[in-house]
Structure 1
Amino acid sequence: MQYVTNGEKVYRTHCQNCHGAQGEGLGKLYPPLTDPNYLHDNRASLPRIIRFGLKDSITVSGHTYSENMPAIPELTEVDIAYVLSYVTVRFGNAKSKYEVEEVQKSLKPATEKK
């Protein structure tokens, strides 16, 4: 699957340093990316977290993480679809990849989503 292969490259460059080579996270600082329930339940917001960062606390696998995640605005919508396909399929056991259209819809301001 091209999306997963390309997503691994994006992940290694932009995500692995904090979230680990296997998506295991970093102690109590950075959350793991291996909780399939979190990935599934937050599928629509994950592209926004990557593009715009995250300043709020989140709970993943029963643990709360409150470190800020920096925005990665230089990633294209295709790059975001790639990396989320990699994370959700490889670490979260998802059966389907992220489509670019899904990422585009998620990134639109709320007033444009209709």
Structure 2
Amino acid sequence: MKLKIISAIGLLIAVLFFSCQTEDEITFARYYSTGSVVYQNKCQNCHGKDGQGLSALMPPLTDSVFLKANKALLPCIVKYGAKGKLMIINQHPFEGNMPPVDLAPIEIAEVLTYVTNSFGNKAGVVTAQQVEADLSKCN
């Protein structure tokens, strides 16, 4: 009987907690948590668990200045990859090949929400609509 009461109270607290969140907070939480899974499956092998990259081979994802300055380019890099001189991050040039990642726009939005709000970054939600608009402008 006590277990049922405790479970009911726990459920009530959870319902109250989630009902107090705004729609934006719920969207952010959903994109961030799903983006974490996409990152683990598609990005972590090269960029590392903590986004530190692999020395001179793979760029880190910890440079919030770069991420913010190139926000519209990030979906293109994820979807289509990059070759040659990739970028300069923390004043260090990275050259090589980032293979394209076959993700739907919503998955790109989720993983970019995760990356741009992890590893010391705080940039808010990247929406699927933003990603679709940015992908339409890729060269």
Higher radius of gyration, 1 or 2: 2
Which protein is richer in strand relative to its size?
A: 2
Residue 49 (structure 2) aligned to one of 21, 25, 31? 21
Q: Say how many residue pairs are matched.
A: 110
Match of 1:37 in 2: 65
Please state if 1:65 is matched with 2:125. Answer: no
Which protein is richer in helix relative to its size?
A: 2
* Per-residue deviation, 1:110: 6.1
Residue 90 (structure 1) aligned to one of 118, 125, 135? 118
* Per-residue deviation, 1:91: 2.2
Calculate the TM-score normalised by the size of structure 1: 0.91
* Per-residue deviation, 1:92: 4.6
What is the identity percentage for the equivalent residue pairs of Structure 1 and Structure 2? 40
Structure 1 gaps, min length 5:
none
Please list the CA deviations of residues 5-46 of structure 1 after superposition, one character each: whole Å capped at 9, or x if unmatched. Answer: 000000000000000000000010000000000000000000
Tell me: CA distance 1:71–1:102, structure 2 relative to 1, closer, same or farther (3 Å).
same
Q: Is the 8 A contact 1:33 1:92 kept in 2?
A: no
Please list the CA deviations of residues 42-73 of structure 1 after superposition, one character each: whole Å capped at 9, or x if unmatched. Answer: 0000000000000131101111110110001x
Match of 2:23 in 1: none
Tell me: CA distance 1:92–1:41, structure 2 relative to 1, closer, same or farther (3 Å).
farther
Q: Is the 8 A contact 2:81 2:99 kept in 1?
A: yes
Calculate the TM-score normalised by the size of structure 2: 0.75
Residue 5 (structure 1) aligned to one of 30, 33, 37? 33
Q: Is the 8 A contact 2:62 2:119 kept in 1?
A: yes
Please state if 1:79 is matched with 2:107. Answer: yes
Supply the RMSD in Å over aligned alpha carbons. 1.4
